[in-house]
């Protein structure tokens, strides 16, 4: 049985809703194996939050079906809900309650009570290093600690699947690292299936497999390595005061088609190290910085969509390409 499976999932927001009206999901098909850490990588507005809301049973899809360990999220919603723990992008804690009270009341909602619940709450506080702060009201905790309480809350009923929406929003790098270590441990020790949405390429790298989303569709699926191997060779980026002037010349002189994105010239090519001295010599004084690297997931996204991951959702202009053929 698949941990998560969807069949031609579509969603259209009604015209009067708070969300942007129109089709947010245009037929999503994917499946996740038990024990996998699966990521959805895409910019804001790519539909991943809508997908998260459907899987977490917050909204019903307009068309299509989704299954959590074989349970239909619409027809068999209670069973599906029991199988998953959900961590929202925005906090879901009651700030006036203590750490322990938050976990206890969450346990009640999942049918736990009495001694078994008490034991489970102790276990969770222990596991996330919350025991010393159990009696503190949540409003006095730092962002990192609150995120730990959110995680503990999502795991209180020992779910088989954990779903997280943009989990590292608002976390500093140390807290983010700690968070991903926890996810790794959950997978390893408990064989937990984890589904996570993100708009950050480096988070996508932590997943076993991921789907890249853009404008309500999945445009690529695979392991991070598989996705990156779709780009041949190296990626060179050039910062310059006059990027437009450089763009055409690079094309005619070297036969590579660079792309200008967010003021930065970017090109993919094999054996990039040979090209760098040539470019630097061709434009004396015009280049402020030039760098070369192996493709990242960010590059995969640019390659597939022609847009930058963090800009794509905000109505960015289409990328400018060199005019010559």
Partner 1 sequence: MPRRRPKVNNLMLAVWSLWRREMVRFYRDRSRVIGGLVPPVIFWFFIGSGLSGSFSVGSGDTALNYRQYFFPGTLVLIFLFTAVFSTISIIEDRREGFLQSVLVAPVPRMAIVLGKLFGSASLAFLQGMPFFIAAPFIGLHLTLSSLLISLFILFGVAFSLAGVGFFIAWRMDSTQGFHAIMNMGLIPLWLLSGALFPIHNIPGWLAMLVRLNPLTYSIAALQHELFPPGAIPDLPPLGFCVAVIVIFSLATLCAAVFITQRGRDQ
Binding site for partner 1 (CB under 8 A): 14, 17-19, 56-60, 77-79, 81-82, 86, 88, 90-97, 101, 104-106, 108-113, 116, 120, 137, 153, 157-158
Q: With beta carbons less than 8 A apart as the criterion, state whether 238 and 279 touch.
A: yes
CB of 105 to partner 1, least distance (A): 5
CB of 99 to partner 1, least distance (A): 14
Q: Which is nearer to partner 1, 66 or 260 (CB)?
A: 66
Concatenated DSSP letters for 154-200?
HHTT--SEEEEESTTTT--HHHHHHHHHHHHHHHHHH--EEEEEES-
Q: Which is nearer to partner 1, 113 or 142 (CB)?
A: 113
CB of 86 to partner 1, least distance (A): 5
Q: Which is nearer to partner 1, 87 or 211 (CB)?
A: 87
CB of 319 to partner 1, least distance (A): 34
CB of 106 to partner 1, least distance (A): 7
Task: Quote the strand ranges of the chain, DSSP E.
Answer: 4-13, 22-32, 37-41, 63-68, 71-72, 84-87, 161-165, 193-198, 209-214, 217-222, 234-240, 259-261, 264-269, 287-293, 320-321
* Distance (Å) of CA 290 to CA 95, 124, 214, 294: 48, 48, 29, 14
Q: Which is nearer to partner 1, 8 or 105 (CB)?
A: 105
Q: Which is nearer to partner 1, 91 or 319 (CB)?
A: 91
């Amino acid at each position: 049985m698949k941990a998560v499976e969807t069949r031609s999932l579509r969603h259209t927001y009604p015209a009067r809703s708070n969300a942007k009206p129109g089709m947010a999901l245009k037929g999503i098909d994917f499946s996740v194996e038990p024990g996998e850490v699966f990521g959805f990588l895409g910019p804001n507005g790519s539909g991943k939050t809508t997908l998260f809301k459907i899987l977490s049973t917050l909204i019903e899809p307009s068309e299509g079906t989704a299954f959590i360990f074989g349970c239909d999220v619409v027809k068999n919603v209670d069973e599906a809900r029991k199988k998953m723990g959900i961590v929202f992008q925005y906090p879901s804690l009651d700030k006036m309650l203590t750490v322990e009270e938050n976990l206890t009341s969450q346990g009640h909602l999942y049918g736990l009570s009495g001694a078994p619940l008490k034991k489970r709450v102790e276990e969770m506080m222990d596991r996330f290093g919350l025991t010393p702060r159990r009696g503190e009201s949540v409003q006095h905790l730092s962002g990192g600690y609150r995120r730990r309480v959110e995680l503990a809350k999502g795991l209180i009923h020992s779910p088989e699947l954990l779903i997280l929406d943009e989990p590292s929003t608002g976390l500093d790098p140390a807290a983010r690292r700690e968070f991903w270590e926890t996810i790794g441990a959950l997978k390893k020790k408990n064989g937990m299936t984890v589904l996570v949405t993100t708009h950050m390429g480096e988070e996508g790298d932590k997943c076993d497999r991921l789907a890249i989303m853009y404008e309500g569709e999945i445009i690529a699926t695979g392991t991070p390595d598989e996705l990156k191997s779709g780009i041949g060779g190296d990626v060179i980026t050039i910062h310059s005061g006059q990027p437009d002037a450089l763009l055409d010349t690079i094309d005619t002189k070297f036969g590579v088609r660079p792309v200008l994105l967010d003021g930065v010239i970017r090109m993919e090519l094999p054996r990039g190290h040979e090209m760098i001295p040539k470019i630097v010599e061709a434009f004396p004084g015009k280049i402020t910085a030039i760098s070369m690297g192996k493709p990242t997931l960010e590059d995969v996204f640019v390659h597939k969509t022609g847009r930058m991951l963090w800009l794509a959702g905000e109505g960015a202009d289409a990328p400018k390409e060199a005019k010559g053929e």
